[in-house]
Amino acid sequence: MSAHTPPARLRDAWIALSGLSAVFLFEMLDNSVLTVALPTIGRDLAASTASLQWVSSAYSVAFGGLMLLFGAVADRFGRRRTMLVGLTLLAVASAATVLVTSVEQLVVVRALMGLAAAMTTPGSMALTFRLFSGDELRVRGLTVVSTAGLVGLAVGPTIGGFVLAVAPWQVLLVANVPIALVALVGIRSGVGADQPEDLHRHPLDLVGAVLGTATVVGVLVTPTLAVSTGGWLAWAIAVATVVAVVGFVVRERSARHPLLDLALVARPLVASGLAYKAAAGLATAGLSYAVTLQLQAAWGWPPALAAIGTLPQVVVLLVSGRFVGPFVRRVGLERAAWTSAAAVVLGLAVFTVLGRTGYPAVAVALVLVAAGMRVVGAVAGARVLSGLPGDRTSIGAALVDTASELATAVGIAATGTVLAAFVPGSVTVAQPTAAHAAAVVGALQVAGAVITAVAALLVAVGVLRARRGASTPEPTATRPTPTATGSPTPTSTPTIPTSSTAPSSSIDHHQESSRA
């Protein structure tokens, strides 16, 4: 393979994929492991319930609020460079956990780790996409990277439980240091250095960055405050969030060099991919929260049995990766995107309608959601990045992650709000009565119906936008063709079409180029 030829096989880019996979492993493993450790952290640091909530929230708010900013920074100053800086920060912040002596210090460490995640996670998707030239390899590469994250998400609680039995909780966060080192080595060795022609030099829209960060942080924080405290503070932050949203839109429509070009977001490929990703994130968050509460708060299952009850989802997530590529190749990128998002929404609908009848319906719902997640995570991101110019892929990846993060927050907040309104007193009680169990199940049905309707609407919006894109070709963009170890070569190619034959046509073209 020449210095300017993209990898023809996944194995040709295994060093880069190893490093990029380590980034996703950190993102998914971190929060799932920490959740198990929160009770231990609370006892060790004498932390209140509110303080423990901020241990988790500090990471999510920093991560979600800063992704758009660092996506724009990466497109201007280098995706590889931004990731390497973020990974260095991650290693340092994780190692600093051993010095923590108070919950306030831990919150600061968690915020720094969220900052590091904002610098690294969008770049990992963008760089994975840019390693390859054909649709099939791009989807397979994104599937490999996302598999690492899903493995971390699936096994995190189990690993955390075993570690806490023999070691202090700090070990769980310090474990991010070797993960960051693996990512550093893989990306530094396997991904080519940023090239000037692969970036754009427009000034960074700092006003837009502040307004965008305020918008995302407000959306993430407002639902939590509304459910937990209510009162004037929640209303004040809600109003400030609306003002930030309006200000952000006005700024991005009027700025000469906006942080986020709203015209690009409106492109059919981009808009449909974001709609599918948001629908899947919303339904997944709603189902995960609802299943946990129904098994434990309504049915009285102990935590260990409830963990076993979620095994169908874990198994599907772990074993279905090999089927994603063949499925996308068979049905096409667009059909794979909307059907996988619809499967996630269908899983939540099954739980909403039949979940109260017994565990078999819950298991079916978990399987449907897991199967849909496995596909939509790769193909929705690929659609968004395919619809953007080559020098906007990092901001596109940040958009995908932001859409998922916001949808997850909304799904959890919506479920919590309905529960607070329909269930008197605390949702979790030591000995649930029949009346309490019925109230919890009824509230979960209401919440599930609301979230299912909104998620289904998002899928419909995605389908309509994609059909519009099929009838109205998008502008031709200059897209660099990067390599695992060499520099990218700019080539003028049209945006990948949205028809079901897009993957195979691109694959054939790539194979012909390789043979030539």
pLDDT in tens, 459-479: 999 999 888 766 665 554 444
Same domain, 49 and 170: yes
* Closest to 385 measured CA to CA, from 142, 144, 135, 129: 129
Is 405 a residue whose pLDDT tops 50? yes
Same domain, 183 and 39: yes
What angle do helix axes 49-77 and 206-228 make, rounded to 10 degrees?
160
Last residue within a domain, chosen from 204, 219, 235: 204
Backbone φ and ψ for 491, nearest 5 degrees, come out as -135, 140
Last residue within a domain, chosen from 156, 172, 204: 204
Same domain, 381 and 286: yes
Chain-wide mean pLDDT for the chain? 79
Q: Give the span between the Cα atoms of 269 and 380, in whole angstroms.
A: 9
Is 440 a residue whose pLDDT tops 60? yes
- Per residue, the 3-state secondary structure of 275-316, as one string, reads HHHHHHHHHHHHHHHHHHHHHHHHCCCCHHHHHHHCHHHHHH
Tell me if 252 is assigned to some domain: no
Tell me if 505 is assigned to some domain: yes
Same domain, 282 and 181: no
Within 10 angstroms of residue 129's Cβ, the number of other Cβ atoms is 24
Same domain, 276 and 197: no
Average pLDDT on 311-329 reads: 82
* Domain extent at residue 409: 263-516
Three-state DSSP class for residue 69: helix
pTM over 0.75: no
What CATH number is associated with residue 420? Answer: 1.20.1250.20
Same domain, 20 and 155: yes
Same domain, 421 and 293: yes
* Closest to 279 measured CA to CA, from 509, 458, 432, 13: 458
Q: Supply the pLDDT for residue 494.
A: 34
Instruction: Please name the amino acid found at residue 458.
Output: L
Is 352 a residue whose pLDDT tops 90? yes
Q: Supply the pLDDT for residue 384.
A: 86
What lies within 8 Å, CB to CB, of 193 at 6+ separation is 80, 487
* Closest to 395 measured CA to CA, from 309, 216, 270: 270
Tell me if 367 is assigned to some domain: yes
Per-residue CA distances from 329 to 133, 324, 334, 375 (Å): 15, 9, 11, 12
Tell me if 37 is assigned to some domain: yes
Band of pLDDT at residue 420, cut at 50, 70 and 90: confident
Enter the tokens of residue 18: 């190893």
Band of pLDDT at residue 140, cut at 50, 70 and 90: confident
Instruction: Please name the amino acid found at residue 229.
Output: T
Same domain, 300 and 189: no
Is 492 a residue whose pLDDT tops 60? no
Is 32 a residue whose pLDDT tops 80? no
Q: Give the span between the Cα atoms of 64 and 401, in whole angstroms.
A: 8
Same domain, 193 and 293: no
Q: How many domains does the chain have?
A: 2
Enter the tokens of residue 241: 């969030």
Q: Give the span between the Cα atoms of 161 and 157, in whole angstroms.
A: 6
Q: Give the span between the Cα atoms of 336 and 342, in whole angstroms.
A: 10
User: Between 383 and 197, whose confidence is greater?
Assistant: 383
Band of pLDDT at residue 37, cut at 50, 70 and 90: confident
* Closest to 337 measured CA to CA, from 133, 142, 509: 142
Average pLDDT on 426-448 reads: 80
User: Between 151 and 217, whose confidence is greater?
Assistant: 217
User: Between 82 and 325, whose confidence is greater?
Assistant: 82
Is 56 a residue whose pLDDT tops 80? no
Band of pLDDT at residue 322, cut at 50, 70 and 90: confident
Same domain, 313 and 445: yes
Tell me if 241 is assigned to some domain: no
Average pLDDT on 402-406 reads: 80
Tell me if 166 is assigned to some domain: yes
* Closest to 36 measured CA to CA, from 410, 294, 304: 304
Query: Could you give the percent of the chain with pLDDT greater than 90?
Result: 21
Tell me if 171 is assigned to some domain: yes
Per-residue CA distances from 148 to 93, 370, 398, 456 (Å): 22, 15, 19, 28
Within 10 angstroms of residue 433's Cβ, the number of other Cβ atoms is 9
What lies within 8 Å, CB to CB, of 326 at 6+ separation is none
Last residue within a domain, chosen from 153, 185, 204: 204
- Cβ 127 vs Cβ 187: under 8 Å: yes
Q: Give the span between the Cα atoms of 296 and 309, in whole angstroms.
A: 11
Tell me if 199 is assigned to some domain: yes
pLDDT tens digit sequence for 195-229: 777 777 778 888 988 998 898 888 878 766 766 66
Q: Give the span between the Cα atoms of 321 and 315, in whole angstroms.
A: 11
Same domain, 151 and 33: yes
Q: Supply the pLDDT for residue 245.
A: 93
Same domain, 15 and 127: yes
Q: Supply the pLDDT for residue 1.
A: 37
* Closest to 196 measured CA to CA, from 494, 513, 504, 480: 480
Q: Give the span between the Cα atoms of 55 and 51, in whole angstroms.
A: 7
* Closest to 144 measured CA to CA, from 127, 159, 161: 127
